[in-house]
Structure formats: C-alpha cells, structure tokens
Amino acid sequence: MTRWLLLKLSVLGAVSAFLMGGTFTCNVTFIPPAKKESTETQTAAVPAGAIVKIENDNGSTRVTVDPTATEATIRITKTAIASTTEAAEALLAQMEVTVTPAGAPDNTLLIKAVSPPAATTDTSQIQFTFNDDDEVSVTALLSDTQVAQYRLQITLPPAHAVNVTQLAGPIRAIELDTASTLTASAGSIRSIRAQADVTASAQAGSVTIEAHRGSADVTVGAGSVSLQIVSLASTDEAQVRVDAGNISLQLPKDVQADLMALTQVGFVHFHEQDFDATSDIRRNSGYVQGKLNGGGATVDVQSDVGTIEIDSF
C-alpha cells in the first residue's frame, strides 16, 4: 500500500512539475502507531422474538448462537490508534458502544459502535496486516492519522434474527438459526454452519458461507464468493450476484436443484460428473443451465466479470 501511495503522489507531482516547468519532490513518512485498549463485557436480555441489530463503524463483529445461552453476552474491545500515547488515550475516551435493550414497539436489541469524528477509515493513510480472522492490525500510519476500532464478540441464545451492518472490517456469524442479514461496506463476511436463510451483501470484500443449510442470497460488488450448501429443500433458493469476482459453489452430490450459472466475461466450470444425475443440460463456456437429480430448489449464480466453479463435496 505504501508503494502505491508513494507512486501515486510521485506521478501527480511529476505531472504538475512538468506542466509548470519546475521540479517536484514529495516524501511521505509512515510512523509506528501508539495504541490504547480497553475491554468490557455487558449482558442484555433478549425477549422471545426479539431482533438483534448490530452496527459497527470500524473493527470487527462476531456473532455466535449458543444453545445454552439465556441472554446476550457482549464483549467489547476498543482500540485507539494514534501517533502518540496521549492522542491514543484521548481518542479512546471518545469511543463509545451503546447497548439499547429490546422493548416496545419494535422489540429490537440494538448494539451500536460509532467512530469518533477524529478517527479515519481511509486505508491510504495506514499500513496494516490481516490475522487469521481477516481482522485488521494497524502497523503504521501517517503522523496525524487516528484510527478507532471496535471488536464486538456477541453470544446469543437461539431463535433470534440477527441484522449486522459493518462499515469497515469483517463480519463472522456462527450457527445462525433464524433468518438473518449481514452487510459489509468494506470487509469480508463469513457465515459458518447456519441453519436458516442468510442474506449477505458486501460492496468490497469476500463472502464465504460454509456448511450452510437453507436459502442464501449473496450480493458482492468487487470480491469473491464461496458458497457451500449441505442441505437445500425444494422450496429453498440459492442466489449469488457478483459485479467483479469469482464464484465457488459446492453442493451435495444428491441435491435436487434447478441450476443456472452465467458469467458475462469469464468461464463457467461445471463438474457434471460430481453429481448423481443431471438432465436437460445446456452449456457453453460462460453458461450452464440444467437439472441436478431431477430438479427442485433454485440455484442461480451470476458474475458480470469472473470465473464460476461448480462441484460437489
């Protein structure tokens, strides 16, 4: 990222200097950050039928459904990053997570983490690495840059719809059991072992859905999609739409589905031999349509630009 930023500035400077008949020099210096962190745990009642709504400006959100839980447990880690320890301490004091109990009229538990005005999510001003959970670790920043990150780890009892909105950073959802929606503006989404309909949308970032049971509706602007479905009823639907990126789709070999896969620019690789039976197959390099094991559930995956891979497991 640093090389890209320095190159961009150098090119712009060279062009300006050329047009003005002069010379141009620009040096950009990244510095090691100072960090301050705090951790707390809150609990909240989740009445029957309550919706859990989570809004996180920057950081990461993990939601786990625990069959033994009787209330929501919310572990909050705040990380303030700045050029000096004093600036990091001041930023940490401004960071806030609000937990609004579920009640009338909408029966919604709202968990909201808001970045202070002084903090930035502009990645051109920071250097960072990713850990195994795709969480961002800031390693260097421009001298006047401040970053506020919230790590939300939420455990819920069963039978509650979850609605997560993450502006920057990853979302992880584990064993969702009620129809839920996961939305990321800039970051990845990963759902593991859901047993309910999941709607996932990422403007820029990957979506991975593993060991899924039920319908799935995935939309991605720029990024890849990996969708593994282990159970699909005749009334279920699996739909994927990607503007620019590859799609990997894994289905049971005995799945009964009506399949349609299309890419405008790219190839569709359909491993027909992986399935117990196929019929009415029509295909070319960028298109496949047909029935798997006599047909049934709707499976419709499309990418404007990208490769589509379809096989079984």
pLDDT, one tens digit for every residue, the chain (313 residues)? 333 333 333 433 443 443 444 555 555 577 888 999 999 999 999 999 999 999 999 999 999 999 999 999 999 999 999 989 999 999 999 999 999 999 878 999 999 999 999 888 766 666 767 776 767 777 777 777 899 999 999 999 999 999 999 999 999 999 999 999 999 999 999 999 999 999 999 999 999 999 999 999 999 999 999 999 999 999 999 999 999 999 999 999 999 999 999 999 999 999 999 999 999 999 999 999 999 999 999 999 999 999 999 999 9
Q: Specify the pLDDT at position 28.
A: 59
Which residue intervals of 21-112 are DSSP H helices?
Answer: 85-94
Lookup: tokens for 81: 């990053």
Residue that has been written with the tokens 């759902």 in this structure: 191
Q: Specify the pLDDT at position 129.
A: 73
Distance CA 62, CA 64 (A): 7
Sorted by sequence, the CB contacts under 8 Å of residue 59 that are 6+ apart come out as 79, 113, 135, 149, 150, 151, 152, 168, 169
Which residue intervals of 198-256 are DSSP H helices?
Answer: none
Q: Provide the residue type at 272 as one letter.
A: E
Give 3-state DSSP helix, strand, coil % of the chain, rounded to 5.
Answer: 10, 55, 35
Lookup: tokens for 279: 């019929």
Integer CA distances (angstroms), 222 to 186, 208, 299, in order: 10, 14, 21
| DSSP states along 132-179 | TT--EEEEEEETT--EEEEEEEEEE-SS--EEEEEEES-EEEES--S-
Taking alpha carbons only, the member of 259, 266, 257, 184 closest to residue 218 is 184
Buried b (16+ CB within 10 A) or exposed e, 270-280: beeebbeebee
Q: Specify the pLDDT at position 118.
A: 87
Classify residue 33 by its DSSP letter: P
Distance CA 176, CA 208 (A): 14
At 13, is the secondary structure helix, strand, or coil?
helix
Going 235 to 303 to 186 to 192, the CA torsion angle's sign is positive
Q: Specify the pLDDT at position 179.
A: 98
Q: Specify the pLDDT at position 22.
A: 52
Please tell me the pTM assigned to this model: 0.86
Q: Specify the pLDDT at position 29.
A: 73
Per the DSSP assignment, residues forming a β-bridge with 128 are 138
